[in-house]
Amino acid sequence: MRLIGLVVALGLLSVPFAAAQQAVKVARIGYVSLGSAVDAAKALRQGLRELGYIEGQNLVIEDRYAEGKAERLPELVAELVSLKVDIIVAAGTPPPLAAKRATKTIPIVMTSAGDPVGSGLVDSLARPGGNVTGMSLFSPDITGKRLQLLKDIIPSISRVAVLWNASNPIAALNVKEAEAAARTLGLRVQSLEVHGPEDMESTLPAAISGRAGALFALDDPLLFQYRQRIVDFAARNRLPASAFFKEFAHAGGLMTFGPDLGASGRRAASFVDKILKGAKPADLPVEQPTKFELVINLKTAKALGLTIPQSLLVRADEIIQ
């Protein structure tokens, strides 16, 4: 009888312990990017940690990277769908588009989409309406402002080589915006179109043969991944280079003007958290950045023989010496 009582007592004691173990739900997140594992969704991971998610305890992240090859995205997204992840987090514009084509039920969180309405990702920013929501970096006037800043630095410029990724559906809209802004500023645009990493070496030299006064890289995950190669080419050929994200300036580009990509990734974590707690993507408004940073690489400017106007130095959020 004593033995039976001991067994019953141990069994009763084990019930709360087992219940506690079952209470720890592990969130399974899929992450897909057109870029490479070098960036490894660092900002997203940081944002999730700040919200109390710890990998290996209550969080598992399945990473998939296309390494600049857009044709791989359907396969990578299909892998995440087959793993039955709770949410797919997708960077840029092509990855969430691939995810939306693959599933209508798994929630999709964008970290840095271009124009989510124009590309068909959501019905509207205020009411996304489907299984997609998150962060958009789209700002209609940003390209024109960046071109104006470039002309402020190089008043004599007349021709700009615009580097863009034709495999990104949003890029064509950005090119048209750049062309319209350039006409207003009296600039001619030379289009440098790439479809993948293999096109970089053959396309970039056209900026030199076309006598462009500067290289203007549009917002794109592929160009971001190969930013060092782009900046190195510009430096070798003494070509001022402007881009969207500050990482280009840190790599040696002349000037960048755009949102903080890391802040966008960290903010995307809040969408993941809300959806895991029961919110529906259709009811979560898409958010856009409210701050755009001007970063000037003064070291690069000096190497190019350029003098940055004092008015821009005063406005700059960061100056790289």
Q: 54-113: per-residue pLDDT in tens?
A: 999 999 999 999 988 889 999 999 999 999 999 999 998 999 999 999 999 999 999 988
Contacts of 152-157 with CB under 8 Å at 24 or more apart are: 152/309, 152/311, 152/312, 153/240, 153/254, 153/255, 153/301, 153/306, 153/308, 153/309, 153/312, 154/213, 154/214, 154/240, 154/306, 156/213, 157/187, 157/213, 157/214
pTM for the whole structure? 0.81
315: number of CA atoms within 13 Å, CB side? 14
Q: Which fold has domain 25-138+261-283?
A: Rossmann fold (3.40.50)
Q: Is 289 exposed, middle or buried (0-12, 13-18, 19+ CB in 10 A)?
A: buried
* Superfamily, domain 142-258+292-320: Response regulator (3.40.50.2300)
> Residue 18 has which token pair?
């087992």
Q: Which residue in the block uniquely carries the two structure tokens 């190969």? A: 226
Q: What is the pLDDT of residue 10?
A: 47
Residue with tokens 């990734």: 265
Residue 24's pLDDT is 63
| DSSP character at residue 287 | B
Q: What does the longest C-alpha to C-alpha distance in the chain come to?
A: 98
Q: Where in the chain is the domain with CATH 3.40.50.2300?
A: 25-138+261-283, 142-258+292-320
pLDDT at 40 (0 to 100): 63
- Mean pLDDT score, 217-246: 93
SS3 304: coil
User: Which pLDDT score, from 0 to 100, does residue 222 have?
Assistant: 85
Mean pLDDT, residues 164-170: 85
> Residue 39: its pLDDT value, please?
64
